Structure 1
Amino acid sequence: MMIDAHHHLWDLSAVHYPWLMETGAVRFFGDPTPIQRDYLLDEFRADAAAQGFSASVHIQVGAADPWAEAAWVQSVADQAPDWPLVQVAFCDLTAPDLGHRLDRLQTLPSLRGVRQIVGRAPEEDMASGTNALLDDPRFLAGLKELGARGLSFDLQLLPELMEQAARVLERAPETPVALCHAGSPHDRTEGGIKSWAGSLLSLSALPHVSCKLSGLGMFDHGWTADSARPIVHACLTQFGPARCMFGSNFPVDSLSSGYAELVSRHRSLIPVEMQADVFGRTAQHFYRF
């Protein structure tokens, strides 16, 4: 089974995404205008199946109503029983009614975990204040609650926050963590990659943390296999193939490459003997297919 471990879907008539539909906004990943349209399972599935994939993981993506998004994703999964689709939903781990929120989410058979973004890009996070989550004891308590419930956590953050995040995560060893987008190496200079790889060590040292090879085009729309080579190599070296998984980050990463091109580049960078893990087995185990 080949699994795309990180993608999004949206039906703009069913769920509202403020970040996506803001007029004239240019985000850290580029101009969202080309993706300000419905992106449904049939379109995603056609691209993914053509590359050998037969299952996928939907990741929450900033809906105005997170429950509406999670319920809609469940309806998509229900209508496509021949395409195993599981999801990582949003939940505020600092909420006073966290238990109630998780109880509700766990009524959805497709639920596997939660994502609450800690860091997207330096300029955006300075404004949003999400970095403060790592200093909030309620966030750590929420992480522990996920593990107690058999749920995982998808971690999106910046390299500058990795060491602080590792100190928090090491206190929640029962909660499986998936690092999104290889930790968002936004500085692609030689020095930036070296600094990112050094910070990544703090997370790869934790056995309950895995890494997604995803989102490589968000900070470099002109990326190539050669430019991404040091990133993929560092992830595979530090985490090993049994803790690395491929994710397309579509349709966001469609701004920088086609689906087939994206997969081809990753295949060229991942040694053949590691591909069964990275393109399937790791995600199958982590997300409990």
Structure 2
Amino acid sequence: MRVDAHHHLWDLDAVRYPWLMERGAVRFFGDPTPIQRNYLIDEFRSAAEACGIGGSVHIQVGAEDGWAEAQWVQSVADANPDWPLAQVAFCDLTADDLEAQLGRYQSLPSLRGVRQIIGRAPGEDARTGTNALLDDPRFLRGLKVLADRQLSFDLQLLPELMAKTASVLAHSPETRVALCHAGSPHDRSPAGLRNWAGELGRLARLPNVVCKLSGLGMFEHNWTRDSIAPIVETCLDAFGANRCMFGSNFPVDSLYSDYAAIVRAQESLVPAEHHERVFSANAAKFYRMHPTSGS
């Protein structure tokens, strides 16, 4: 079973996404106007199945109410038992009632982990204060609670935050961590990629961290197979084929290309002998997915 380890769905009639529906706003990944509409499982499955994908991991995507989003995703999983669907929900790891929140989330059979974004783009999260999570001792305690509950953490950040993050994660070695979007290499100049690769190594040296080959179009909208080659190759060299996994980041990356183009590009860049691990086994193991379970 091939797995897409990073995508989103949304029903704008069921769950509110303030960032998505803000009219006239341009985000770090571009103009969201084309995706300011419902993006449901049937549309996603049509594109994914055409590329041999047979299961997926839904990643929280900034809903106003994370619990409402998680419940809706569970309803999608329940309505599509033939499509293994795991989910990573939002939870504030610094919350005073963290244990109670996680207990509620774990009542959902599809739940596998939590994502709390540290950094999306230069300046954006510095304004919102999420970068400060790394200095908050409650955040580290929250990471340890996830490990105790056998939940994973999806890590989204910038290269500039990797050194500090690696230091924090080193104190929670039992927490399984999935690095989103190859660590968001936003500076695609030769110097920028060298700096990203050096910082990426800090996370790669932690054995509990894996890497998603996803979201590579967010900072390079006119990407080509050759332009993303250094990123894919660096990730494979740093983490090894056993710790990398494919993700489409749809529908966000649909702003720049179609689903098949992303799959074809990564298929051509990942050596054939590693396809089974990068496109299937690694994600299925990390997110505990089973072809017949529906979750």
Q: TM-score, normalised by structure 1?
A: 1.00
The separation in 2 between residues aligned to 1:110 and 1:8, in whole angstroms, is: 14
Q: What is residue 236 of structure 1 aligned with on the other side?
A: 236
Q: What is residue 65 of structure 1 aligned with on the other side?
A: 65
Displacement of 1:179: 0.1
Q: What is residue 254 of structure 2 aligned with on the other side?
A: 254
Task: Calculate the aligned-residue CA RMSD, in Å.
Answer: 0.4
User: Unpaired runs of 5+ in structure 2?
Assistant: 290-295
Q: What is residue 218 of structure 2 aligned with on the other side?
A: 218
Aligned residues: 289
Asked if 1:175 is matched to 2:175, the reply is yes
Range 120-129 or range 169-178, more displaced: 120-129
Q: What is residue 3 of structure 1 aligned with on the other side?
A: 3
Q: What is residue 275 of structure 1 aligned with on the other side?
A: 275
The separation in 2 between residues aligned to 1:76 and 1:40, in whole angstroms, is: 9
The separation in 2 between residues aligned to 1:237 and 1:95, in whole angstroms, is: 37
* Counterpart mapping for 1:94-133 below 5 A: 94-133=94-133
The separation in 1 between residues aligned to 2:268 and 2:8, in whole angstroms, is: 24
SS of residue matched to 1:122: coil
The separation in 2 between residues aligned to 1:243 and 1:190, in whole angstroms, is: 25
Displacement of 1:193: 0.2
Displacement of 1:125: 1.2
Q: What is residue 161 of structure 1 aligned with on the other side?
A: 161
Code of the aligned partner of 1:196: W
The separation in 1 between residues aligned to 2:125 and 2:68, in whole angstroms, is: 25
Displacement of 1:129: 1.0
Q: Deviations for 1:174-195, whole angstroms, at most 9, x for unmatched residues? A: 1100000000000000000000
SS of residue matched to 2:5: strand
Q: Deviations for 1:151-192, whole angstroms, at most 9, x for unmatched residues? A: 000000000000100000011111100000000000000000
Displacement of 1:127: 1.0
The separation in 2 between residues aligned to 1:39 and 1:13, in whole angstroms, is: 11
Range 117-126 or range 21-30, more displaced: 117-126
Runs of 4+ residues over 4 Å off in structure 1:
none
Displacement of 1:72: 0.1
The separation in 2 between residues aligned to 1:184 and 1:261, in whole angstroms, is: 20
The separation in 2 between residues aligned to 1:253 and 1:79, in whole angstroms, is: 26
The separation in 1 between residues aligned to 2:221 and 2:13, in whole angstroms, is: 29
Q: Deviations for 1:5-48, whole angstroms, at most 9, x for unmatched residues? A: 00000000000000000010000000000000000000000000
SS of residue matched to 1:54: strand
The separation in 2 between residues aligned to 1:158 and 1:139, in whole angstroms, is: 18
Displacement of 1:123: 2.2
